[in-house]
Structure 1
């Protein structure tokens, strides 16, 4: 109205004030726009870039931008947000210790802008063309980190890698994803993948993790050892991830995770848990996680109802028991756990490392598998070694 009163001479009524070139507009803004008095978007972009170039204080930048949203005469500011949203969010990227921007980082900046807009007497930032904020509910750093994956990039990777699955790998993938997408169709929410070296176990586990994460959901990856954890995308040791306490071999404790903590909220939102090299783990470690998840989820389902995928090869290392022998190792491995019967058993058998037509390597791979299953027969070695 101020602009109209300043630029239009002798209006006799509100209707006359909004009439431009014989056309009466419903609102003052439309009339001002028809007169060409609204500042164009390029001017505001230039102003924002001047601020960016002269200060590293991103909070001050967001405060200034919020003031512009409320008091400027620009009709739609979505173009400005889309062009410079990385600048508005760069401090949150640093705080989260990430290298790539994602929706959670942008939402942090939008939350802050929304608060400043309200302080200036404005309303929702959506009325200025910006995306909606969370409304004050911010995720913890733990949840933000587990949701920090580039969903579009993961979707493209999943699409390519699913084409490479062989029949056994496809069976494992479909079985696990079926449980993630429709848990109630299956009797077991736990799966054990028996996979010898070279059968593509890590490939399948990482593909499962990527698929769940590409959907914006949380998937946790752990292993029984640090070396094995590095093979998984976002992998950590089970002790580190779940705060599993150090235990004597004959005792069972829960994990050091209390309700109403950030870690508990992360576990509540988790859709998939992957545990690699599980045959190395003491059965009490698994029991501790099971007890903790049942408590956090307030139910009595296995692993609190979470889809739980564990993998390993019993031909390799069993739990290491101090001063123990074969009997003790078997007594504390996962097969001796109460949860073993409740796991669906799947198997990978095709050695994908072998080149087609490489008869020597194929024979050697079969000999190793035979050795692990005690179906030895005659083992032939090269370079003059006898069998």
Structure 2
């Protein structure tokens, strides 16, 4: 019997019924349960107990409603649609649509907020090469697109200006420089189009990315945010992994190439993108940077670094660098993006302030940076921890537990 993908729900559930129902001579026999004919094969499987219902996904969204922001819930809902194949996604949407549109409801009426939220879900599906039509039970009437477009430059501008006003001088310098280059072709010739933010954890790199994302969108620029790991990507607005955005293979070698072909939807999105923001760049091998350069040059037909696109990298070289299995020290070091021929194109901005540390933690935060830079090691490469940073109280205190008698 032919296989069927779970993403094609009716075909997949038809295959399940064919494997479990004996003596069926027509489709109606497969759909008949206790004398009643179900409307779909999915409903028949559910009535026969061959598949589970959506209670689990309902509990997931209910828990998310407590801890996640509305835009995060929309992203989660899209993940459920794509990877979990809920039987009745429309019921999940109806139950949680208000929670998923709460951020839009701050500035719009309830109906418009829900429509904006739904359009945002459709757009997120498009980013994953999916379509709302792939889920026929979901509402298909998108006639409100022209009147209620998700993109709201005024809303983005207000958020971006507020975030910019609270940035420290080092952060504001990066924001001003990138916006200037994005809006002025002459500035690209003077300043270049490649930038790198060097800052330890807590110095506000993600804050810069989010501020730029809102401000650039309000100026009509298309921004793509990505990171080398999924954990880092979810912290960015509309963040995706480099592998998804650039079509990078796994693993990556010196002769690897992108899987994205010209004249495809992914290629069109890359061509239309004005600014790329890449977080945790030091984790990536230099081959990833070089593949991106070749890909964008090939798609745009522009013989400039990265096809003339603006690229903002960020990260901390004190943290985890690329790892080569069974590689020598020199081989692992040479994998770093600093050893790429493209690294000389990048202008570096440094962030020093730890925005997460309280006033009484500044010295400890500086000590952590000294560890990362190897400044606290002695001649024998040993390190002594300062006494003022030692906590004498046990973090876990033993408590007497009553003896259980057999």
Scaled by the length of structure 2, what TM-score is found?
0.58
- Deviation at 1:92? 8.1
1:96 aligns with 2:104: no
3-state SS of 2:234 partner: helix
Residue of structure 2 in register with 1:222 after alignment: 226
- Deviation at 1:275? 0.5
3-state SS of 1:231 partner: coil
- Deviation at 1:110? 8.0
In the aligned structure 2, how far is the partner of 1:245 from the partner of 1:200?
30
Contact kept, 8 Å, 1:242 with 1:289, in 2: the verdict is: yes
Deviations 1:240-282 (A, max 9, x none): 1111123453x23331222222111111111110000000001
In the aligned structure 2, how far is the partner of 1:90 from the partner of 1:148?
5
- Deviation at 1:169? 0.6
Alignment partner for residue 258 of structure 1, among 247, 261, 283? 261
Residue of structure 2 in register with 1:383 after alignment: 391
Please give the root-mean-square deviation of Cα atoms over the aligned residues, in Å. 3.4
3-state SS of 2:226 partner: strand
Residue of structure 2 in register with 1:372 after alignment: 372
Task: Flag as ranges the 4+ runs of structure 1 deviating above 4 A.
Answer: 89-92
3-state SS of 2:365 partner: helix
In the aligned structure 2, how far is the partner of 1:323 from the partner of 1:196?
28
Residue of structure 2 in register with 1:305 after alignment: 308
In the aligned structure 1, how far is the partner of 2:247 from the partner of 2:198?
26
3-state SS of 1:193 partner: strand
Residue of structure 2 in register with 1:180 after alignment: 182
Deviations 1:108-164 (A, max 9, x none): 74899xxxxxxxxxxxxxxxxxx8xxxxxxxxxxxxxxx944333221111111111
From the CA coordinates, give the structure whose radius of gyration is larger: 1
1:279 aligns with 2:297: no
In the aligned structure 1, how far is the partner of 2:279 from the partner of 2:145?
38
3-state SS of 1:383 partner: coil
The structure with higher relative contact order (CA 8 Å, sep 6+) is 1
Contact kept, 8 Å, 1:321 with 1:328, in 2: the verdict is: yes
Q: Which runs of 5+ in 2 are unaligned?
A: 1-108, 126-141, 378-383, 394-406
1:98–1:152: structure 2 CA closer, same or farther, 3 Å change rule?
A: farther
Residue of structure 2 in register with 1:330 after alignment: 333
1:192 aligns with 2:200: no
1:227–1:110: structure 2 CA closer, same or farther, 3 Å change rule?
A: closer
Tell me the matched-pair count.
262
Deviations 1:331-380 (A, max 9, x none): 11100111101111111111111223x2xx11110101111112216641
In the TM superposition, 1:53-64 aligns within 5 A as none
Contact kept, 8 Å, 2:195 with 2:349, in 1: the verdict is: yes
Scaled by the length of structure 1, what TM-score is found?
0.61
In the aligned structure 1, how far is the partner of 2:168 from the partner of 2:385?
28
Contact kept, 8 Å, 2:119 with 2:145, in 1: the verdict is: no
In the TM superposition, 1:1-387 aligns within 5 A as 93=119, 96=122, 109=143, 148-185=150-187, 186-249=190-253, 251-356=254-359, 358=360, 361-376=361-376, 379-380=385-386, 381-383=389-391
